[in-house]
Structure 1
């Protein structure tokens, strides 16, 4: 989606509560004010969010990424000192098993971060499976795959070919994704055929009238925007302007007008008309109800597009940070969440540095640490830190 333009200091477009005759606002006038107010609010929210998101991305790159590197450096140092303790300190079998769990399950991701010198340590504590263990693992994977095949067949109607290789989570996921894509493509083709058949059916008089009314409203709405656009183009056309500074100003304004017209931004065009004195407040107050009706349809669509733009900004930032989009609702919330995560990471680095220093020369410190550590029944150990940024 093209990012919606957001004026730095937008002209207020609003119909006063009482016109020249002192009468109250009509339904369409109230709707017009409601939409223009909503759009102005959304424009500010989008602009503020974009600015805050850009600032956050810069802070992550300049501040948080170096801290992640420090954190991984300390985790790598912890692997080395624990490996040394495993081999050199007088420990019980349970204590050595805990060290192996921390190294193998809690820190193996360090290989993906470029700590290749740790590979011999991981290989030592996590040797390749023996033949019988490999066979057992393959049998377990096959059994799990069969259960998942039945589940996905029942839930999503996916048919698994007899020779489909889905004995690992990665292969299973890839196969399911391929089948789901094929299903979606087939559904889209069927829906296109149904739409084509519906289009060929003879419409009832009521349906025909509704369609004609819709087409007429769309035509009138398009005409309303084009009328504003042409008025501004004629006023701003720079070719006959002798003054170079004024010519440059009009050229820039004409770019804004064209951008707003192409994006169907009615409110932006109205703002420019007010700014350039092409219309005045009395013009808005005395605008025909039918004209306001068409304007309100366009303003409603402009508000929806801004809401979509704001949500797209949130989703983009969510993909960058790993945080759910609903936790990134405002610049203040984003700043608070970032400072919290940064503080937590700094505390982890400090704690790891102290542990590495103590474990390197004090067996009692290692034993005290291992006494509090419990091997999880399933999944990775406690030292695997999945950072959200």
Structure 2
């Protein structure tokens, strides 16, 4: 949906009932009021969410990223302390095995998070794989990826094709996906051609003619509003320089709204500029209201999609499902929870490093509670 260049006033576009309650309004008038109210709320929701997401990104950068760096620094200190304890404390074979697992599994990501100096420690406790082990690991990964792409995308892997490396695998998948897309495009083109050749029944033809006529009338209705506003706002006829600039900006907004089929925006401007009044809305013909309501439904749908896209963008930023942070309030709650959690982790890690460095018994007590994850569970992040 097109973004507006200039903020509008909160102009109410609403058909008032002449009698008591909504019963005095026709069905189309009630639908018009419902849609304009829904659009007004959706516009507020999109604007509020977009502003909250922008502010939250700034807070993450300025407040949370430094905490992440401090958290990783505390984890790096823990690795150094565990390495020292492994070599110098009197520990059992099982306790040393747990330390090796913690360093290799729970903290391997630190090398890519600003602590490459830990590489010698990692190599000491988790020596590089042999050529045979690497080949076996590559084979297992390749088989797992084959199964995944076969299930999700229906790709058949030819046993004779070499997909042993990541580059070869990606090239083969890309080729198969391209062939699938070509086949689908051909099938769609053939189906479209068959539908075009198929003779329509009188009922189908009448429905299609009616649809085309309605679309034509909708286009005329929006264009009529647009042309009326263009005449009223044409800056070349304005002698006052300040007023000329104002009208120029408003005209840009009118053009943007017209190109996006934003009927409600055009009606708001007409009311704001006194091109129409309340009686004009109340006396709209039923046919005209029907055309307006179709456009308003489309505008409401586009706003819903715009809000969903904002939520998905934030979901991509956080890595959480969009429904976890579907409102600015939920976004703030999630941020505060993460902020408190990482502070708690930092304090706990710093206390552990201090305790383990002065009291081997504290480390032994900690190792008693540590359980080595079973194969397949995945990495344990400290």
Give the whole-Å Cα distance in 2 for the aligned partners of 1:187 and 1:304.
28
1:14 deviates by 0.4
Equivalent position of 2:50 in the other structure: 50
Equivalent position of 1:217 in the other structure: 214
SS in 2 for 1:202: coil
Deviations 1:48-95 (A, max 9, x none): 111111111111011011100001111111111101111111111100
Deviations 1:106-155 (A, max 9, x none): 1111111131111111111111334665566566x28x81x775686577
Q: Aligned runs of 1:283-362 on 2, under 5 Å?
A: 283-362=280-359
1:89 partnered with 2:86: no
Give the whole-Å Cα distance in 2 for the aligned partners of 1:317 and 1:35.
27
CA gap of 1:149–1:67, structure 2 versus 1, over 3 A, is closer
CA gap of 1:283–1:107, structure 2 versus 1, over 3 A, is same
SS in 2 for 1:360: helix
C-alpha contact 1:375 1:381 (8 A) present in aligned 2: no
1:380 deviates by 4.3
1:171 deviates by 7.0
1:360 deviates by 2.0
Alignment length, in residue pairs? 380
C-alpha contact 2:222 2:263 (8 A) present in aligned 1: yes
Give the whole-Å Cα distance in 1 for the aligned partners of 2:278 and 2:157.
67
1:32 partnered with 2:29: no
CA gap of 1:98–1:288, structure 2 versus 1, over 3 A, is same
Question: Which deviates more, 179-188 or 215-224?
Answer: 179-188
Q: Aligned runs of 1:1-150 on 2, under 5 Å?
A: 2-3=2-3, 7-18=7-18, 24-130=24-130, 133=133, 137=137, 141=140, 145=143, 149=146
1:202 deviates by 2.7
Give the whole-Å Cα distance in 1 for the aligned partners of 2:281 and 2:129.
79
Give the whole-Å Cα distance in 1 for the aligned partners of 2:132 and 2:231.
84
C-alpha contact 1:32 1:296 (8 A) present in aligned 2: yes
Give the whole-Å Cα distance in 1 for the aligned partners of 2:160 and 2:360.
54
CA gap of 1:157–1:321, structure 2 versus 1, over 3 A, is closer
Equivalent position of 1:230 in the other structure: 227
1:228 deviates by 0.2
Give the whole-Å Cα distance in 1 for the aligned partners of 2:199 and 2:163.
49
Give the whole-Å Cα distance in 1 for the aligned partners of 2:256 and 2:360.
70
1:215 deviates by 0.9
- Measured on the aligned residues, the alpha-carbon RMSD in Å equals 2.6
Equivalent position of 1:269 in the other structure: 266
1:182 deviates by 3.5
C-alpha contact 2:257 2:265 (8 A) present in aligned 1: yes
Give the whole-Å Cα distance in 1 for the aligned partners of 2:74 and 2:322.
31
Give the whole-Å Cα distance in 1 for the aligned partners of 2:7 and 2:19.
27
Give the whole-Å Cα distance in 2 for the aligned partners of 1:178 and 1:373.
47
Deviations 1:208-254 (A, max 9, x none): 21111111111110110000000000011010111111111111111
Give the whole-Å Cα distance in 2 for the aligned partners of 1:131 and 1:256.
65
CA gap of 1:239–1:301, structure 2 versus 1, over 3 A, is same
CA gap of 1:193–1:258, structure 2 versus 1, over 3 A, is same
Gaps of 5+ in 2: none
Deviations 1:156-213 (A, max 9, x none): 5422122334457897677556534542342133212211331233322222211111
Give the whole-Å Cα distance in 2 for the aligned partners of 1:51 and 1:198.
46
Deviations 1:246-303 (A, max 9, x none): 1111111111111111111000000000011100000010111111010000001000
CA gap of 1:151–1:264, structure 2 versus 1, over 3 A, is closer
Gaps of 5+ in 1: none
Equivalent position of 1:199 in the other structure: 196
Equivalent position of 2:242 in the other structure: 245
Give the whole-Å Cα distance in 1 for the aligned partners of 2:314 and 2:115.
29
